[in-house]
Structure 1
């Protein structure tokens, strides 16, 4: 499917995470180890917070590994919080509006996974999007529709609750259409100050997701890594798969959880879908 990363911490050039690690996100766009597909060449995107009221966004339909504009941008843009994604389509068109992250006001959203038999469920799901958010739909992916549904269910006020209600609604619609095991997702979303990451699937066999060990501990474990000297103790990464094989760096995110990163602190809590009220 796809690979993604979310970084929060000291301002850092995008290239430090996109290009420089041994198994960087750009390397994963050609040589993913843990995904369903080895190659993730159906477009890419990066969203970052900095100057201005809304995050910057750069997306393109070509493969990330050969995009010279991405390499140039990554070498010159520094941000304390950014999300990046390389795409492997699950059936929808390869077009810019289908590339992640998706943006609404200050919010960014990206997803790895799928809604099973999306074509069957799509109409019912789209009709549930609040009129406020419906004009923001630009593409044709299940991922973007999940984002707009999460906004409909209160993402701006209660991200964990909104995503729980979104997933519960998708599963309820799937039951009406006799679609088994509808949701497969690892999701990252942010408002520019906090990152929320979710690992969940209806079958409880979710795609891979990892978080980095505390930076202070990593400096002691691996003093030879120069990037660790550039970032604060509160800097954190969440990734679809590890950016390298160094021992002690990566920890698997537990199944059916929501991870919250804010102010240099991270918390992992249980995640359960919330079915619609009858």
Structure 2
């Protein structure tokens, strides 16, 4: 959920996690510590220290505090971490996932209710936010919409990230914002499919009980372990434990196994879009 505008591969705070990583590396080397040695002192692996330094992962606040203690930096990393977190353009439950989304080499989304944020049109996003915040100020709604659309900048590259979207059939049947909004939204998705920019599958109603029971995003990286993000009402969890990520990936694979093929899914999306145009 968006808060305020920022920068990354699509948006990043003005301070920058890359700056955090470069400063961490500089201070670590000045202390003559290897990544493994520093990792032992702050209770994480040396590979994670390397990922912090490359801005592939963001340290939790408690790790930033321990970095200050280990390196004698008098609160420097804690202060940077707090500023970067507070200036993030998304609510806390999604902020880190949004950041990693901009770095991912491959993204697999499962959407049970709404079109995934990366694929939403402005009118559709506006209708979603108005439904969730019917008394919000117009300025707040417009800011939220702008930040959601900014995430789609990752799709400007013609090949990366690989985006695979699995939509429950209810996503395309639920009339969010009215028929005209849905026609535009489904046409937009169909256009991305025809441009071969995304892979799309629809999980039909007759597939039975869905394997997945909530929003799920799987992200893979070129030089870092994969992560999973699951979301519920006003809550979200970023998972990087290998066993949990593996379990999420298996569930996603089981769901795609009973979904319509990409060709059948495109045909259904196109057909429903035409229904909304009538």
Same fold (TM over 0.5): no
Larger helix percent: 2
Instruction: Determine which structure has more spread, i.e. the larger CA radius of gyration.
Output: 2
Under a length normalisation based on structure 1, what TM-score does the superposition of the two structures give?
A: 0.28
Q: Which has the higher strand share?
A: 1
TM-score, normalised to structure 2's length? 0.28
